[in-house]
Amino acid sequence: MYRSHTCGELRLADAEKEVVLTGWVQKSRKLGGGITFVDLRDRYGVTQLAFYRDLDADLYEEANKLGREFVLQVTGTVKERSSKNNNIATGDIEIHVAKLLILNKSDVPPFTIEDETDGGDDIRMKYRYLDLRRNPVRKNLELRHRIAFETRNYLDKQHFLEVETPVLIGSTPEGARDFVVPSRMNPGEFYALPQSPQLFKQLLMVSGFDRYFQIVKCFRDEDLRADRQPEFTQIDCEMSFVEQEDVLNIFEGLVKHLFKVVKGIDIPELPRMTYAHAMKYYGSDKPDTRFGMEFVEIKDLTAGKNFGVFDDAEYVGAICAPNAASYTRKQLDELTNFVKRPQIGAKGLIYVRYETDGTLRSSVDKFYTPVDLAKWAERCNAKPGDLILILSGETEKTQKQLCELRLEVGDRLGLRDKDTFNCLWVIDFPLLEKDEELGRFFAKHHPFTSPKKEDIEYLDSDPGVVRANAYDMVINGVEVGGGSVRIHNSDLQEKMFEVLGFTPEKAQAQFGFLMNAFKYGAPPHAGLAFGLDRLVSLFAGLDSIRDCIAFPKNNSGRDVMIDAPSQIDIEQLKELCIEVKKSE
Ligand code: ASP
């Protein structure tokens, strides 16, 4: 028996017990006067080992030689501590060690393995296996496990079957670039790694599986951001004989279940917001509804006063920042610089201060009288003490900029509390999205999403207005999941491919198997997928999904620990029939 207890479980009630513990030396403190304390750590916690010269001089000397991260097995007696530590669960006791066995030595670790470490990001990524010994990192993975486990639990109770789908497949059109894998046995041909199991889960519906899910790795070769990794995990689901309403209800149930059992939070019924509403009032299809500050259009109130910037603009939109009239010149300049950054691209920011004494002062006083400003304030529902911020220009662009500004001001005003969770469904997405440069339509969700029945008639005449039976779940401004009711009729699917600019031959070559399958009694079906990484990082209050992935990639898509990707042997390449030109 290596151990009788873990390093996290002994309490005062265990006093005088003989125990055997194993773990890593987190740190040791030589107190002088012949006493040395060693903190022994494992996954479950830290227990203090005490070595007294008076009790055993040899052992005491041995303990003083222990280095950080040595792996130990100790036998000893649980004793009440004289000075207790309320910060840790085992803080009332210590172990008076009788026997010490070094199971393994350790080099000095490149950073301290404690909650607060001295290691920077890069070094911790390089030694990720050591970083994972730290509490905050390990806790995120424990949370991830809990969420995945409870997801399986909930879905199993709802009669979902977990079915594995292949990883070496052809391309799945989810709108990103594929990672590809050369096939040795089929020279010159490639597999693609799945961007999602979309087509397979739909085929499983044709097979009669009825309720499918899979917690599954997906791969997308996209530029990386804080909430994106080249490989990520989805909770992928599909159901037959359902309408949108059924899907929303089942998965609202899943999220409520997760919040309840994992965080002890009761989530109220999820509000539903149309895509059109979200864009008009938040400038985003994933609005952060933890706070108000919805957009207010004031173009009509600003017109005709010789202020060219507004007069020439297609859109003039305002947000009202509560209790921010006291913002200093410097703070307002910061906001102006924020919206002028190239990533946001506004030309300038106009403000109206609604002073607490009721006066209105703006950065455009030359053009507008207090009476004009009062009208704006009234429409914005502003109160004395508030600050109105205004952007103008082309509608869509300006709404996007206003969205960024709203989030920034929300941050600055402390309105985006990580412990508050606001969940909602965004529904009625457009079916298609026009790429102005290429002058053609793309599927907004994916090509298997069904149009709303009442909009099908516009597929030819005005495809841009057709709405989809598609939905996203948004929590605190993060899209945590999304899906759609699918097309299950091969004629409509063919029509959809046509609208998307596929020739019948190309559609047949790429998706012939799906359209064929649909000829053999495809049931009506619908589904969605949640991003597990995003869900976990939201639950944990993390800024990046990297922190809840055991071995993530860095921003250049590299695993710096194993140093991948890497070059491969010429021989290996030859075998794969891949020719590489030698770089000069
Ligand atoms: N396959 C979709 C995605 O990965 C989700 C779905 O439509 O079920 O976003």
- In the chain, DSSP finds a helix count (H) and a strand count (E) of 17, 22
Q: Which residues contact 61 (CB under 8 A, 6 or more apart)?
A: none
Q: Which residues pair with 29 in a beta bridge?
A: 37
- To the nearest 10°, report the CA torsion of 433, 434, 440, 443: -10
Residue segments in the chain with a per-residue pLDDT below the cut of 70: 173, 581-584
Residue 196 near ligand 1, beta carbon < 6 Å: yes
CB 402 within 8 A of CB 317: yes
Half-sphere exposure of 330 (CA within 13 A, CB side): 0
**E strands present in 93-210:** 93-104, 161-162, 180-182, 190-192
483 lines ligand 1 (CB under 6 A): yes
CA 131 from chain centre, in angstroms, equals 21
- Which ranges in the chain are annotated with CATH 3.30.1360.30? 291-412
Ligand 1 atom at minimal distance to the Cα of residue 218: 4
Range list for CATH 2.40.50.140 in the chain = 12-104
279-323, pLDDT tens digit by residue? 999 999 999 999 999 999 999 999 999 999 999 999 999 999 999
Q: How far is the CA of 447 from the centre of ligand 1 (A)?
A: 11
Strands annotated E in 87-136: 93-104
Q: At what angle do helices 490-499 and 504-517 cross, to 10 degrees?
A: 150
User: Of 198, 238, 472, 534, which is best to mutate to test ligand 1, by the most ligand atoms within 8 angstroms of its C-beta?
Assistant: 198
pLDDT for residue 583: 60
pLDDT of residue 201: 98
CA distances to 29, 124, 127, 329, 564 from 110, in Å:
20, 8, 8, 45, 21
Dihedral of CA atoms 408, 412, 417, 423 in degrees, nearest 10, equals: -30
Is 291-412 a CATH 3.10.129.10 domain?
no
Question: Which secondary-structure segment (H or E) carries 248?
Answer: helix 244-258
Q: In a mutational test of the pocket of ligand 1, which residue from 227, 426, 446 has the highest number of ligand atoms less than 8 Å from its CB?
A: 446
Q: For residue 238, give the ligand 1 atom closest to its CA.
A: 8
CA of 290 to the centre of ligand 1 (A): 26
174 touches ligand 1 (CB under 6 Å) = yes
Q: What is the pLDDT of residue 171?
A: 76
Look at the chain and count its residues. 584
For the stretch 44-56, pLDDT in tens is: 999 999 999 999 9
Matching CATH number, 12-104, of 1.10.40.30, 2.40.50.140, 3.50.50.60, 2.40.10.10: 2.40.50.140
- Which of 445, 448, 473, 533 to probe ligand 1 with, by most ligand atoms within 8 A of CB? 445
Domain 119-269+524-584, CATH: 3.30.930.10
User: From the CB of 214, is ligand 1 less than 6 Å away?
Assistant: no
Residue extent(s) of CATH 3.30.930.10 domains in the chain? 119-269+524-584
Please say whether the beta carbons of 376 and 370 come within 8 A: no
Residue nearest to atom 7 of ligand 1 (CA): 483
Q: How much is the pTM?
A: 0.94
